[in-house]
Chains A and B, each alone.
Chain A
Amino acid sequence: MTATDQLLFEGADWDFRTLQRICDACEQVARDELGLDVYPNQIEVITAEQMLDAYSSVGMPLFYKHWSFGKHFAFQEASYRKGLMGLAYEIVINSSPCISYLMEENTATMQALVIAHAAFGHNHFFKNNYLFKQWTDADGILDYLEFAKRYVAHCEERHGRQAVEHTLDAAHALMSHGIDRYPGKKSLDLRAEEKRAGRRRAHEESAFNDLWRTVPTGPAKSGAVLDVERRRQMLGLPQENLLYFLEKTAPRLKPWQREILRIVRHIAQYFYPQSQTKVMNEGTATYVHYRIISRLHEQGRLTDGNFLEFLQSHTNVVFQPEFDDPRYSGFNPYALGFAMMQDIERIVTDPDDEDREWFPDIAGKCDAMGVLRDIWANYRDESFISQFMSPRLMRHFRLFHLHDDPEDRAGILVDAIHNERGYRRLRRELARQYDVGFIDPNIEVVDVDLAGDRRLMLRHTVVKGAQLTEADTKRVLQHLADLWSYDVSLVEADASGTVLKEYVANPRKVAAAA
């Protein structure tokens, strides 16, 4: 603990030595007092323009080329130029080493906040949360993205930009349905994945012999045998991972198209944990930066002025407008997450009778960080909220639950409010808002009409009467049919099995030929 009473910086200016000092100071607090366990950190200073670039390719430092990223870039650039939108202070990437991008415009205080937030808060969460451990491969992701970029470029060279673009469009449309929701047999190893793809390609190339094309193919297998083989292949049904299903079974896809579907699927899978842990992830990072910076101030390493600047940014970040505020646009994950983390800290260290009744496991355990680290490792948003949302916090946010049934002409029912009768229902409903099972429509491949016209049959299980929007659905099905290259039908049915609506899409000629 040398030089703890020295100021890290004064004023707003910083240089690279300042950053280094800030990092070291943050690391000391993070490791010794919060007990965080992080990937090695890599901090990169970038300009606003580079930040915009990163925005448009979903925050990743390298990505394959596609027009939709250009669209996002044009949109974001325009709104940034007009001043409608500020840029994020940082972007952090779940990789090892964990890369945090800092904007050069940030003041020294902001850099300290951002380093504590991203390089320690998010980083710890990425490394320890079970979803990330299960679904992402932090060591391999950058290499895999590099491979994906090269592979897509290579395909464009070989098969033409148009064809690759078609395939990517279709894959993107199905991206949210290219996810395995249940852990498979083996964990994902992206490096091996990349090597495997390379080997497969090399083998195909070395084994290529044009003569084979000229060898006459006899009536090798009878229809019955084929049928059986097919059926066996289909055993995976019903399958909710549409991209996986297409990659493995679509009859007329080229090998490179399958590989592209695979790439899009892997990337969707990589982002899957992030969409399930927004509240926890931001809550953790916000809680960590709050603890670290406050501690640095206590140690006398931040001036009061800088600390006030920090508090102002921090307060903006965790601001939660109320539902009738024009600024309201849903729950702010920073606000909700941070409030819950603080509340848990309070329950652990200074519980009242209510807390003891609701949270017998953690109330009064005294080791706040131990409890929090355990929560960070083992929960996702839905389970986190349904376990740890306390009555006190519901009163603090003044939560209420609305039930809107369009059949009910009278209006919208207030179903529960923050009182003794309502706490559990409120908590259940709020948790459900974060449950991926409810967020994404549940669409599965149920069968393929093998005897007939090879029609691919999908079913959307309608929950609470919410049906698919027609225009979008038709377009997505069109993409799906192009990949499948035979007809595709989608049935919307409710829980009782009543069919509400049916779509059919025919493949386009061009796509079938491509």
Chain B
Amino acid sequence: MAIHIVDRRLNPGSKSLENRQRFLRRAKALVQGAVKKSSQSRDIKDVLEGGEVSVPIDGMDEPRFRREGGTRDMVLPGNKKFVEGDILPRPNQSGGKGRGAGEGDSEDTFRFVLSRDEFVDLFLDDLELPDLAKRKLAEVESEGIRRAGYTTSGSPANISVSRTVSRALARRVALRRPRPEVLETLEAELLNCSEERRAELMAEIEALKTKMRRIPFIDPIDIRYRRFETVPKPVAQAVMFCLMDVSGSMTEHMKDLAKRFYMLLYVFLKRRYRHVEIVFIRHTDRAEEVDEQTFFYGPASGGTLVSSALQAMHDIVRSRFKPADWNIYAAQASDGDNSYADGEVTGRLLTDMILPVTQFFAYLEVGQENGLSYDMPNSALWTLYEGLRASGAPLSMRKVNERSEIFPVFHDLFQRRGPQERTAS
């Protein structure tokens, strides 16, 4: 009897991928909740890392008829001191080993690992992005063009002369087109030769000339055009400024909204630029550059001067991020308070220094949880920015109470990219 030994190690793995996707689809609501929780606790830059989430098991269980209670009989190994008729006190927790050991799902939650793409996808879903925006985020931005060989059709401006000429030469050689020098020597010979030789030569020259006419120097089939392809934009860098008012009036909920707002901008930038730096500037009545932890969780107190943050941003741009080399994005979150006297300085700084160098400046006014955005009276800062926008400054601004309201701030950003892409392709 022959025994077959088969090496299956090279067989395609991940046979379970499909089942896994089905499971994720089914558990979407649960997984989404888990992703939301997980993204609250992680740093902005880690939002793209994927990672482990835990999901409550009971939404996903597979029911079976099971029994519990009643009188139970068990036979156990390892008797040490019991004799027949002993009465043992019950353990305190009722039903210590109630459930049958056959069911492996008895854990309350179970953890599993999401890939980076799965995680981002769910994260974006959670922000309730419109589909169009999601597609834009998901796809690699096609910008810039690159040579990609030759083609037989194209615009005359793109004719590749060298390629066309070399193809024509090859064709002429292959078809034995008479070379002009041969013709010249024959014609030179014609000038001084005998009569009978003359007739011969004339005929030969005529034949050569016909052949030359038949086989053109350049034929349309020789023509080649340079082909161009649009490709993802090559290495580019962007810097993202996060400005936030951290005075006492900002609640945890507001900060959380702001964090999601920054995360979304980061995801967006990360998809477009290979290298993204984040600068955190927090301000009260004076501004400072801090790390992420301090930014979101560090304590601070004082009045509110928005201009201090803008000034700080301007200084940092001047010293570290030359606008020629960097795409500059700024996102400001605040509850809208600003000291009245600061308004004019802020406006001037913004229009003269900040907006000219930034690609995008978004302002997010965060409100109380469960508040209604249209109920919020216009704050000092809102009124100021509104005025600037009315006079043509490219600002995106939004009042936000809920997560789902964050995305519209980026509306301009996505919309502005629409026409650009159309012209590029």
The residues of A with any CB-CB pair to B shorter than 8 Å are 16, 19-20, 23-24, 27, 40-47, 49-50, 52-53, 56-57, 65-75, 77-78, 81, 97, 101, 104, 119, 165, 169, 172-173, 175-177, 320-325, 328-331, 397-407, 410-419, 421-422, 426, 429-430, 432-433, 440-441, 443, 460, 462-469, 471-473, 475-476, 479
Report yes or no: A429 in contact with B73, Cβ–Cβ below 8 A: yes
Q: How far is the CB of B118 from chain A (nearest CB, A)?
A: 11
A272 vs B296: C-alpha distance when bound (angstroms): 58
A325 vs B76: C-alpha distance when bound (angstroms): 11
Report yes or no: B64 in contact with A476, Cβ–Cβ below 8 A: yes
Q: Which residues of A contact B60 (CB under 8 A)?
A: 71
Q: Which residues of A contact B7 (CB under 8 A)?
A: 16, 44-45
Chain B minimum-CB-distance residue to A54: B15
Report yes or no: A322 in contact with B77, Cβ–Cβ below 8 A: yes
A46 vs B71: C-alpha distance when bound (angstroms): 46
- Given A16-B7, A45-B6, A412-B87, 7 other A-B residues pairs in contact with their CB atoms under 8 A: A56-B19, A75-B110, A104-B9, A328-B78, A401-B73, A402-B88, A479-B63
Which residue of the partner chain, among A53, A78, A440, contacts B13 with CB atoms under 8 Å? A53
A467 vs B21: C-alpha distance when bound (angstroms): 36
A473 vs B68: C-alpha distance when bound (angstroms): 12
A402 vs B79: C-alpha distance when bound (angstroms): 11
Decide yes or no whether B90 CB sits under 8 A from chain A: yes
Report yes or no: A324 in contact with B78, Cβ–Cβ below 8 A: yes
Which residue of the partner chain, among B16, B27, B105, contacts A56 with CB atoms under 8 Å? B16
Q: A74-B20, A411-B87 are in contact. Are A399 and B112 (CB under 8 A)?
A: no
Report yes or no: A405 in contact with B71, Cβ–Cβ below 8 A: yes
A42 vs B70: C-alpha distance when bound (angstroms): 47
Which residue of the partner chain, among B75, B80, B110, contacts A433 with CB atoms under 8 Å? B75
Report yes or no: A172 in contact with B14, Cβ–Cβ below 8 A: no
Q: Which residues of B contact A467 (CB under 8 A)?
A: 67-70
Which residue of the partner chain, among A42, A74, A418, contacts B79 with CB atoms under 8 Å? A418
Task: Find the residue from B18, B73, B78 having the highest chain A CB count within 10 A.
Answer: B73
Within 8 A of A (CB), among B17-35: 18-27
Chain B minimum-CB-distance residue to A62: B15
Task: Find the residue from B2, B71, B113 having the highest chain A CB count within 10 A.
Answer: B71
Decide yes or no whether B369 CB sits under 8 A from chain A: no
Report yes or no: A415 in contact with B73, Cβ–Cβ below 8 A: yes
Report yes or no: B5 in contact with A52, Cβ–Cβ below 8 A: no
A467 vs B80: C-alpha distance when bound (angstroms): 33
Report yes or no: A400 in contact with B79, Cβ–Cβ below 8 A: yes
Which residue of the partner chain, among B13, B66, B83, contacts A472 with CB atoms under 8 Å? B66
The residues of B with any CB-CB pair to A shorter than 8 Å are 1-9, 11, 13-16, 18-27, 52, 60, 62-80, 82-90, 101, 104-105, 110-113
Q: How far is the CB of A513 from chain B (nearest CB, A)?
A: 21
Q: A74-B112, A400-B76, A411-B88 are in contact. Are A66 and B70 (CB under 8 A)?
A: no
Q: A27-B3, A397-B78, A421-B84 are in contact. Are A77 and B112 (CB under 8 A)?
A: yes
Q: A320-B77, A323-B77 are in contact. Are A177 and B65 (CB under 8 A)?
A: yes
Q: Which residues of B contact A443 (CB under 8 A)?
A: 65
List the 10 closest pairs (A to B, CB-CB), nearest first. A322-B78, A70-B23, A465-B70, A466-B70, A70-B19, A475-B63, A74-B112, A323-B76, A67-B22, A400-B79
Q: Which residues of B contact A399 (CB under 8 A)?
A: 75-77, 79
Chain B minimum-CB-distance residue to A332: B77
Q: Which residues of A contact B1 (CB under 8 A)?
A: 27, 40-41
A421 vs B85: C-alpha distance when bound (angstroms): 12
Q: How far is the CB of B70 from chain A (nearest CB, A)?
A: 3
Q: Which residues of B contact A429 (CB under 8 A)?
A: 73-75
A405 vs B74: C-alpha distance when bound (angstroms): 12
Q: A404-B71, A466-B70, A472-B64 are in contact. Are A415 and B84 (CB under 8 A)?
A: yes
Report yes or no: B68 in contact with A469, Cβ–Cβ below 8 A: yes
Report yes or no: A44 in contact with B87, Cβ–Cβ below 8 A: no
* Sampled A-B contacts (24; CB under 8 Å): A20-B5, A42-B3, A52-B16, A53-B15, A53-B16, A69-B16, A69-B23, A71-B23, A75-B105, A78-B52, A78-B111, A119-B3, A175-B64, A329-B101, A399-B77, A402-B76, A404-B73, A404-B90, A415-B73, A441-B66, A464-B72, A466-B67, A473-B66, A476-B65
Report yes or no: A410 in contact with B5, Cβ–Cβ below 8 A: no
Q: A67-B26, A399-B76, A406-B69 are in contact. Are A173 and B16 (CB under 8 A)?
A: no
Q: Which residues of A contact B89 (CB under 8 A)?
A: 411-412
Q: Which residues of A contact B24 (CB under 8 A)?
A: 70
Report yes or no: A331 in contact with B77, Cβ–Cβ below 8 A: yes
Q: How far is the CB of A346 from chain B (nearest CB, A)?
A: 19
Task: Find the residue from B16, B78, B87, B88 having the highest chain A CB count within 10 A.
Answer: B16
Task: Find the residue from B4, B64, B69 having the highest chain A CB count within 10 A.
Answer: B64
Q: Which residues of A contact B69 (CB under 8 A)?
A: 406, 465-467
Which residue of the partner chain, among A42, A46, A119, contacts B9 with CB atoms under 8 Å? A46
Q: A23-B5, A40-B1, A398-B78 are in contact. Are A70 and B20 (CB under 8 A)?
A: yes
Q: How far is the CB of B166 from chain A (nearest CB, A)?
A: 52
Q: Which residues of B contact A479 (CB under 8 A)?
A: 63
Q: A325-B78, A467-B70 are in contact. Are A50 and B64 (CB under 8 A)?
A: no
Chain A minimum-CB-distance residue to B60: A71
A155 vs B72: C-alpha distance when bound (angstroms): 44
A435 vs B409: C-alpha distance when bound (angstroms): 66
A433 vs B76: C-alpha distance when bound (angstroms): 11
Q: How far is the CB of A157 from chain B (nearest CB, A)?
A: 14
Report yes or no: A49 in contact with B13, Cβ–Cβ below 8 A: yes
Report yes or no: A176 in contact with B64, Cβ–Cβ below 8 A: yes
Which residue of the partner chain, among B16, B52, B86, B88, contacts A70 with CB atoms under 8 Å? B16
A433 vs B102: C-alpha distance when bound (angstroms): 13
Task: Find the residue from A16, A57, A466 having the highest chain B CB count within 10 A.
Answer: A466
A407 vs B72: C-alpha distance when bound (angstroms): 11
Q: Which residues of A contact B25 (CB under 8 A)?
A: 67
Report yes or no: B65 in contact with A441, Cβ–Cβ below 8 A: yes
Q: How far is the CB of A496 from chain B (nearest CB, A)?
A: 15
A320 vs B85: C-alpha distance when bound (angstroms): 26
Q: Which residues of B contact A19 (CB under 8 A)?
A: 5
Q: Which residues of A contact B87 (CB under 8 A)?
A: 410-414
Report yes or no: B3 in contact with A43, Cβ–Cβ below 8 A: yes
Which residue of the partner chain, among A53, A323, A400, A464, contacts B14 with CB atoms under 8 Å? A53
A177 vs B14: C-alpha distance when bound (angstroms): 32
Q: Which residues of B contact A331 (CB under 8 A)?
A: 77
